[in-house]
Amino acid sequence: MANEGKVAFITGANKGLGLETARGLAELGIAVVIGSRDEANGRAAAEKLKAEGIKDVEAVRFDVTRPEDHRAIARHLQERYGKLDILVNNAGVALDEADFGTPGGVNTTSTVTQEILHKTFETNFFAVIALTQALLPLIRKSPAGRIVNLSSILGSLTLHSDPKSDIYGMKAFAYDASKTALNAFTVHLAHELRDTPIKVNSAHPGWVKTDMGGSSAPMELSEGGKTSVQLATLPDDGPTGSFSHLGQPLPW
């Protein structure tokens, strides 16, 4: 099959959107490496997929904020696979104290602490860049490398500045700004790699029923990984430097 021999590494993949992405890629015949901060949870996720009939999946202990883990996963992927075809930067945090059910909306800009800002950017932005840079030599060995950055529609400056948009009243500043910055990384890295087979794109998974999304989210978890899977398996003529949800472009 077309995906035979491909390997994907997904951060934060022991549950939620990451696990759904792992399931979707594995079902396409791609070997999946699950990154999980908790080793036991990662192993349990891998065993769950194996129980569903998925064979080529493994879990590694991985904390995206630890540089030593970046070096360790690079060594592991080199020694076991010799390359990396797909990197899904899925791990992320939402630390703003924000209730999106607040009448008239929410805006944390004047109240968010420096600690929350730094912790949010460390996971959602700086760690993503560091990991991607660490793994890029392995991705360059793939005939069709794909990098997927898990962003959010809440990172769209265009929609945040439009009073008519659905997210106009949803301003959790630390989280939103970190995803805006992540989108900038997508655009810049895609430009740098424009003459290579590697494609770099930002994914908005949708508002999904996860620990982060909450039970009132309109999308089921089974739908949550679809955008990441689409972008991770783009054909040669697919987009790069894009921001999308289920194949539909979103405004920056």
| SS3 label, residue 57 | strand
Rounded Cα–Cα distance for residues 218 and 201 (Å): 24
Q: What is the DSSP string of 113-170?
A: -HHHHHHHHIIIIIHHHHHHHHHHHHHTTSTT-EEEEE--GGG-HHHHT-TTSTTTTE
Q: For residues 23 and 48, give the distance between their C-alpha atoms in angstroms, rounded to a whole number.
A: 10
Q: How far apart are the first and last CA of the chain?
A: 36
One-letter amino acid for residue 101 of the chain: G
Note if 81 is an active site residue: no
Q: Which of 62, 81, 173, 175 is catalytic?
A: 175
Rounded to whole angstroms, the Cα distance separating 80 from 196 reads: 24
Helices (H), the chain: 16-26, 39-51, 67-80, 114-121, 127-139, 157-160, 173-192, 221-224, 226-232
Residue 60 tokens read as 């590694």
Torsion angle of C-alpha atoms 6, 7, 10, 11, degrees rounded to 10: -150
Secondary structure of residue 223 in the 3-state scheme: helix
32: burial class by Cβ within 10 Å (0-12, 13-18, 19+)?
buried
- Mind telling me the catalytic residues? 175
